Structure 1
Amino acid sequence: MKIPGFSSLEEIESLFEVAFENKNKLRKVIKKHPMFISSYYANLIDWDNPEDPLKKMVFPSVDELNVSGSYDTSGEKENTVLTGLQHKYKETALLLVTNRCAGYCRHCFRKRMVGIPTEETVKIFDMALDYIKEHKEITNVLISGGDPLTLPTQVIDYFLEELKKVPHLKFIRIGSRIPVFYPARIYEDGRLLSIFEKFSKEKALYVVTHFNHQKEVTREAAEAIKALTRSGVVVSNQTVLLKGVNDSPEVLSSLMKSIVSISVFPYYVFQCRPVKRVKSHFQVPLKTGYEIVEKAKQRLDGFGKRFKYVMSHKTGKIEIVGIIGKEIYLKYHQAKDYRKVGKLFKRILTPNAGWLDDLKRPEKEREFAF
């Protein structure tokens, strides 16, 4: 599927009449982690504003030369059971079906593979399907990548038709930033919408979007969401808390109000992962993040504040529950070790800690189960 857009500095300089500094360093970054910005999204950016939040998310930065962190912060490699198939949580299978996106986010936690030839995406879907059929504890499948909606419509149709036949699957999720980067792909493709409508009459179908800033909630994005909901698709949103993009209560609450107004339900706000070439310039300390989230929630109604503030650690999805003094309270919302699900625990909060591994264990560690 061909998406109009830009993959070189020269294309952007020419079209938007801008000049970039440090081009040699930026090219070094792009060589390691490709740049692609859809034409639609590029036109939302104020290229004359160095602090434009949308530009920060998709345009490379010399800060990406900082390699502190890890390329696999959530233990995806150790949870890969077949090429392109992960099974970390008992009920959920994760399919990585492509390494392409409609735009390459600079904060991507799969920078190791997105836009680069890789062995981690599904090569033989039928083998993954057989695994899912054999493991009856799996109740849902998350189709991710890359972005699955960059695939040809007939491929998406095949995936959904085959998954629909598995009796123990209760619902399917598709993780996609297409409503943000290239919304016309949805509202102009009647066949895709018919496929979604047909599937959703038999099993629940969710599209999980990734709006990070109010500027992304455009008329076109709203039209794409409306087309999805008319087709029986439930749309929810995962936001990443990003320094310089949405790290203020005002911006975060405005985003939540905007997405709720177009029938997108807030799902998670993720702590930015300590990924190489991401951690140094996008991650907000947990203490600051918690304060931002709580102050944002004060500005929101019940629908807008339904999200959980979490970090996707290699041991599980951990909710940041609260901070009292120098202690931070955490809870396993999901866990690789099923016995930990629902466990509440605490750590000693250090000022610049941005991840579970940065927190100190208390001398007398206590774990509560509910």
Structure 2
Amino acid sequence: MTGNDVVLVLVVATALGFDFTNGFHDTGNAMATSIVTGALPPRVAVAVSAVLNLVGAFLSTAVAATIAGGLVDSAQVTLTVVMAGLTGSILWNLTTWYLGIPSSSSHALIGGVVGATMAAAGGSAVKWQGLLSKVIVPAALSPFIAGTVAALGTYLVYRITRGVREGPRANGFRLGQVGSACMVSLAHGTNDAQKTMGIITLALVADGTLHAGAKSPTWVIASCATAIALGTYFGGWRVIRALGKGLVEIDSPQGMAAESASAAVILSSTDFGYSLSTTHVATGSILGTGVGRKGAEVRWNVAQRMVVAWLLTLPAAALTGALAYWVADRIGGTGGVVVIFTVLVLASTAFYAASRRRAVTPENVNDAWTGSIVPAAPADKVTP
């Protein structure tokens, strides 16, 4: 095996590692409201979400094409650039996961790759028009669109069912939540799993294995689908708690409205090939249900902290990706990639070890919100 082959293997492995972190980081987008309202038990919810993420990943490749060729000039991208970009995105993902902040895995990935590309080839290698139209504009609009749809849906379901007794209404909406949560999971697979497919395809183009503009091979689609499904099954309980308990106290009608709005927006964006942040959509939908329900408590201070994390994601991941490229380039060759891969593994291990001391688990994910973006949890609990 040549040095270039070693680098390609490490890049593919790291990309699948990112896909895994994407899965557990974003489980809350689909299942947070269903878990907190009791529509689905926590472990059943993440298992269902994992299966539907797997299925959704096979339904479209439009977003993968955007990532592979629509944001940076593939002719200027090397395997070292891709590796550095993945390093930046994973480190930011782990940081926000540990803090329980529902930031965007998608924007972390895009930021990391753009930052590494700029460090390697300058700003001219970035397709700014594509970045603006396919990433930044959807990022700005999607929470408001999803929130408006969810607010209107929440108002209507309470209005239409106001004469129905509370018990039967709650039970009926819990059943409805199962269907709407499944749609969000399927939609998440159609959008987020494709981003890693696009990155691996970009690496294969940089390696010369594929020609520019080539579609993702079947083995890439299958491996990315499996990685995001596994990550989803392990569940990001910290983020689930923040989304489900931290923004709005949610009842079943609100949960169904939020999930239905999220699924509609994500599926529409996937059809247009937009690299949408499903986290932004889910958060906007949940906030919308608080606005749409009279007397609901909305914790705007928590939402503000999430927005700050959203604004920081692209530049922070880009800066980390650029720094990773600088380190790898200074060392040079295969050794540079091996070094940043080793640093990434050590950092991931450190985050995991730290998380065990402040664990959020399926057993305590529904405990009362403590008022912190990082709720306290028993030290003897183990995160799955």
One fold, TM greater than 0.5?
Answer: no
Q: Which has the higher contact order (CA 8 A, sep 6+)?
A: 2
Per residue, is there more helix in 1 or in 2? 2
Q: Which has the higher strand share?
A: 1
* TM-score for both structures, normalised by structure 2: 0.22
